[in-house]
Chain A
Amino acid sequence: MFNIVEKRRWYFLFSSILIVLSIAAMAVSAVKFGQPLRLGIDFTGGSIFVLQFDQPASEDDIRTVFADYGLEGAIVQPVGSPEEHTWQIRTREVTASEVGSILNALEERVGEIDRDTLTFDTVEPAVGSEVTHAAALAIAVAAFIIVAFMWFSFRRVPNAFRYGVCTIAGMLHNLIVSFGFYALMGILAGWEMDALFLTAILTVIGFSVQDVIVVFDRIRENIPRHKTEPFERVVNRSILETIHRSLATQLNAMFVMIAVILFGGTTVKPFIATMLVGMVSETYSAIFIAVPLLVVWEKVVARRTVARATA
């Protein structure tokens, strides 16, 4: 029988490297942008405009117009290919009554704006901080409920507590990797944390238990069936019996997510990509982290018991 559990040190090492890299990405982001993940205006407050002009526009002209409205320090960046003449402008929050006159001034001094693609977004800073709190709360509540749910499902299994702790370990692993990925993309591609990123994270938390539950279920079933086998073998058997379906379900979810990333709209790309990373991490951590951890725990306890018995 192929032994997955035996090589657990390698998986632990691999995951440790992943986690270190993730934290490093967040550290770099913190140094570069002041935040471990670049925060979007949903959290910081402010305004974003995406404007498509009918002719080449100069960055300085755009900036001057915004400065005239007291919006110095606007971040003006081109979007897409140069012939699209599309620009993204970030400023502190603009009031509703200012938008019209800013747009008119831009049309006068820079060029006609395509009103069909015109997009802007403004959030007050006060809302931003409220969203941040709510987001942290939502993540904590979600994680707590999922773990409680896990504990409830396994309440009749011996050592249900261990299953819960191992699930949390897997979940933390997935969260750190997802955050690290987003931090990296923030550095490389300017991705910013928004409400959708949180949605992705909450979904990752929700799915954090799906594969773990299947393996744990199988362990629960296999323990009475193979009474003579050591725990490690039972666990390994359970993984092998379920790995097929874990991979098959994961593949299908990956197919649709990759389809959305490749062909879907740009707005949902970071959202789906984060979810994809989270889910791949989930399947990996279920099989190679959470379940082997259970074996380690069992061994440590067994060793202690033996030590106590001989003492």
Chain B
Amino acid sequence: MKKSETWQLVAIIFIALVALFVDLNIEHPDWAKNLPFWQPAGQRDIALRLGLDLQGGLQVLLAADVPEGQGLDAASMETARRIVENRVNSLGLTEPVVQAQGERRIIVELPGIENPEQAVETVKGTALLEFVDARGIPLPPGAVITTTLGGPQGVSPAGSELTPTTELSPTADSTTPAQPAPPPPSSGMVIYETIITGAGLKNVGLDRTQQGEYIIPFELNPDAAQVFADYTASHVGQYLCIVLDKTVISCPTIREPIPGGRGSISGKFTYNDARQLAVQLRYGALPIPLRVESFNRIGATLGAESVQKSVHAGVIGLIIVLLFMLIYYRLLGGLADVALVIYVLLNLALYKLAPITLTLPGIAGLILSAGMAVDANILIFERMKEELRRGRKMMTAIEIGFKRAWPSIRDGQLSTLIICVILFFFGTNFGASVVKGFAITLAIGTVINVFTAVFATRVFVQQVAISAGQWVSEHMWLLGV
């Protein structure tokens, strides 16, 4: 027996045992959990992660709400994603997911959440801050307006009293109540001009004046500061509205130009109001307005039922394939069966280690790929039998069988991988995570398949031929020839 072949066999057995250990549904010891060094430290684990469709929960697809054609920069999108992630994390769910999907979408998965309203409020509730030109008329707090940024919103004729009680000033000096402005908000569609957005905010604090009033000092980053300085210089005495998610928070008067990007918002704030506003300004400063594009919820028991049914179907399918191979290809089929079992073990182990979140179509992809994992074996064995029938020696037949079948196997696997790539991109751009799940498991299966069906099976067949070749040659029915 050649040394290298023995080592190959030992390596395969070792890998299979490791996979088996990973797959075991036990509480793994800590040292094992910490082995996958590529996973983020502190969260390392070797558990199977189930997608939302299997554990139940709510999925929300958010899209950047900017007019078609308007540029979106990746950095702002990433900032928006991080802010959403922070908000989602504050919910304290187990393993929520916040992922960018393509260029302008963010997918949020909230296991165990039922009410989309609650989720949407959490995700985008505080959302977008704008400083808006009031067009000479102070808007009542609570009024919903349309601005030049983002999608249209009707002007709500909020009937609240028109008392602009806040002021905007470069320093935190005491405030004199601004004179009430009479004209009611227009009932037609008025589009207000956005001067700067929350993205321009660098720092927001909370302070108290000597008179004991709460104020919110803020600092703008240089670009925004310049815009702000120019604007305030040319609009002294007019109103500048602070608008959060198209809802007016307050409309202070511009008392004097604000150069240098430092200013403060003052008003008759209670401590709680001031703190809330500061928090909203600080964390609510989404650089891009987001809109809910789709959401869907799956009941937890439905998910559990799907898991159980899929496992059931998978096991039945696998047993049939194992039996078929054994009956049809006998000894060779038995060896292919061993490789197929290793194939399934390796797939599951990889899902746990990578980790890959398993979805229902993902499981379907795994089952399907298991059914096709023996394709390569069939190609090889048929070829081998042909060569044996032509009277070749067993070792030669094995050699030719693997060599001749390889181009067909390679072409088939490559075309499957190509489709997986297309599916993956299709799924990524449309939040259709179902599609992505299928593509990932099918692709992983295709790659592992080359290892088990071509490499491992070859080692097995060679080992048998070397150690029992003579005996097998006398019992050719074992090969189905």
- B85-93, B218-226, B269-277, B365-373 - interface stretch: B365-373
A 116-134 to B, binary, CB cutoff 8 A, 1 in contact else 0: 1111111110110011001
Q: Give the one of A130, A146, A253 with max B CB within 10 A.
A: A253
Closest-CB distance, B4 to chain A (whole angstroms): 30
* Complex contact B435–A195 (CB within 8 A): yes
Contact check: which of A207, A248, A256 meets B318 at CB < 8 Å? A256
Q: Is A185 an interface residue (CB 8 A)?
A: no
Q: Which of A4-12, A222-230, A265-273 sits within the interface? A: A265-273
Which 6 A-B residue pairings sit nearest by Cβ, starting from the closest? A206-B419, A256-B371, A259-B317, A256-B317, A121-B296, A263-B313
Query: Nearest B residue to A268 by beta-carbon distance?
Result: B364
Residue in contact with A202 in the complex, picked from B60, B297, B419, CB distance below 8 Å: B419
**Given A119-B297, A259-B320, A264-B364: A96 and B306 interface contact (C-beta under 8 Å):** no
Contacts of A195 in B (CB 8 A): 427, 430, 432, 434-435
Say whether A64 faces chain B, with CB atoms less than 8 Å apart: no
Contacts of A134 in B (CB 8 A): 426, 429-430
Given A142-B419, A149-B415: A117 touches B301 (CB 8 Å cut-off):
yes
Docked pose: A153 CA to B313 CA in angstroms: 36
**Centre residue among A206, A213, A254, A257 by max chain B CB count within 10 A:** A206
Which of B299, B382, B386 contacts A119, CB < 8 Å? Answer: B299
Chain B residues positioned under 8 Å from A205 (CB to CB): 419
The answer, yes or no, to whether B411 is at the interface (CB within 8 Å) is yes
B349 within 8 A of A: no
Decide yes or no whether B228 CB sits under 8 A from chain A.
Answer: no
Residue of B nearest to A247 (CB): B378
Contacts of B418 in A (CB 8 A): 142, 145-146, 149, 206
Asked if residues B422 and A257 are in contact (CB atoms below 8 Å), the reply is no
Q: Is B142 an interface residue (CB 8 A)?
A: no
Q: Which of B293, B299, B361, B367 contacts A116 (CB 8 A)?
A: B299
B412 pairs with A135, CB closer than 8 A = no
Shortest CB-to-CB span from B204 to chain A, Å, is 28
Q: Contacting chain A: which of B18-26, B31-39, B111-119, B466-474? A: B111-119
**In the complex where A202-B426, A249-B375 touch, is A256 in contact with B370 (Cβ < 8 A)?**
yes
B367's contact among A122, A249, A256, A262, by CB below 8 Å, is which? A256
Does B313 lie within 8 Å of A264, measured CB to CB?
yes
Interface membership of A59, Cβ < 8 A: no
Using known A-B contacts A134-B429, A265-B305, determine if residue A124 contacts B293 with beta carbons closer than 8 Å. yes
B477 CB within 8 Å of chain A: no
- Chain B residues with Cβ below 8 Å from A198 are 426, 435
A80-B418 Cα distance, complex, nearest whole Å: 39
* A196 in contact (CB, < 8 A): yes
Which positions 117-167 of chain A face chain B at CB distance < 8 Å? Answer: 117-124, 126-127, 130-131, 134-135, 138, 141-142, 145-146, 149, 153
Which of B415, B416, B427 is most buried by chain A, counting CB atoms within 10 A of its CB? B415
Sort chain A's interface into a size bin: 35 or more
Chain B: CB-nearest residue to A51:
B299
Q: Which of B61, B378, B411, B419 contacts A153 (CB 8 A)?
A: B411
Name B329's closest neighbour in chain A (CB-CB): A248
Whether, in the assembled complex, B9 has its beta carbon less than 8 Å from a beta carbon of chain A, the answer is: no
Question: A244 near B: Cβ within 8 Å?
Answer: yes
**CA distance in complex: A244, B381 (Å):** 11
A123 partner residues in chain B, CB cutoff 8 A: 293-294
A264:B310 contact, CB within 8 angstroms: yes
Decide if A249 touches B414 in the complex (CB within 8 Å).
no
Which residues of A have CB within 8 Å of B479?
A: none
Is there an interface contact between B295 and A244, defined as CB atoms closer than 8 Å? Answer: no
- B350-378 vs A, CB cutoff 8 Å, 1 = contact: the mask equals 00000000001100100110111011001
| Residues of chain B within 8 A of A310, CB atoms compared | none
The bracket for how many chain B residues form the interface is 35 or more
Q: What separation, in Å, do the CA atoms of A259 and B312 have in the docked complex?
A: 9
A residues apposed to B, CB below 8 Å: 42, 95-97, 99-100, 114-124, 126-127, 130-131, 134-135, 138, 141-142, 145-146, 149, 153, 195-196, 198-199, 202-203, 205-207, 209-210, 213-214, 217, 241-242, 244-245, 248-249, 251-260, 262-265, 267-268, 271-272, 275
- Please, what's the 1-or-0 string for B289-307, where 1 marks a CB less than 8 Å from any CB in chain A? 0001111111111100110
Question: Closest CB of chain B to A21's CB: distance in Å?
Answer: 27
- Which of B294, B298, B386, B415 is in CB contact (< 8 Å) with A206? B415
Closest residue of chain A to B124, judged by CB?
A: A96
In the complex with contacts A100-B116, A260-B317, A245-B378 CB distance below 8 A: yes
A285 CB → nearest B CB, Å: 16
CA A203 – CA B421 in complex, angstroms? 11
B209 near A: Cβ within 8 Å? no
Chain A CB count within 10 A is highest, among B117, B305, B371, for B371
Asked whether, in the complex, the Cβ of B297 is within 8 Å of the Cβ of A244, the reply is: no
Task: Select from chain B the residue with minimum beta-carbon distance to A253.
Answer: B371
The CA-CA distance from A145 to B423 in the complex, in Å, is 13
How long is the Cα–Cα vector from A244 to B418 in the complex, in angstroms? 26
Which B residues lie within 8 Å of A126 (CB)? 293
Enumerate chain B residues within 8 angstroms of A141, measured Cβ to Cβ. 422
20 contacts between A and B (CB under 8 A): A116-B301, A118-B299, A126-B293, A134-B430, A135-B426, A149-B418, A196-B361, A203-B423, A206-B415, A206-B419, A207-B415, A213-B415, A217-B408, A245-B378, A245-B382, A252-B375, A255-B371, A257-B371, A263-B312, A267-B53
Which residue of A95, A203, A213, A242 is within 8 Å of B412 (Cβ)? Answer: A213
A255 near B423 with CB under 8 A, answer: no
Query: Separation in Å of the A47 CB from the closest CB of chain B?
Result: 9
Residue of A nearest to B383 (CB): A245
Q: Please name the residue on chain A nearest to B364 by beta carbon.
A: A268
> Least Cβ distance of B384 to chain A in Å?
11
Among candidates B293, B301, B408, B425, residue contacting A213 with C-beta atoms closer than 8 Å: B408
State whether A251 and B324 are in contact (beta carbons under 8 Å apart), knowing that A119-B299, A196-B434, A213-B411 are contacts in the complex. yes
* Chain B residues with CB below 8 A from A214, complex form: 379, 408, 412
Interface pair A252/B374, CB less than 8 Å apart: yes
Residue among A196, A254, A262 with the highest chain B CB neighbour number at 10 A: A196
Contacting A at CB under 8 A, from B307-356, are 309-310, 312-314, 316-318, 320-321, 324-325, 328
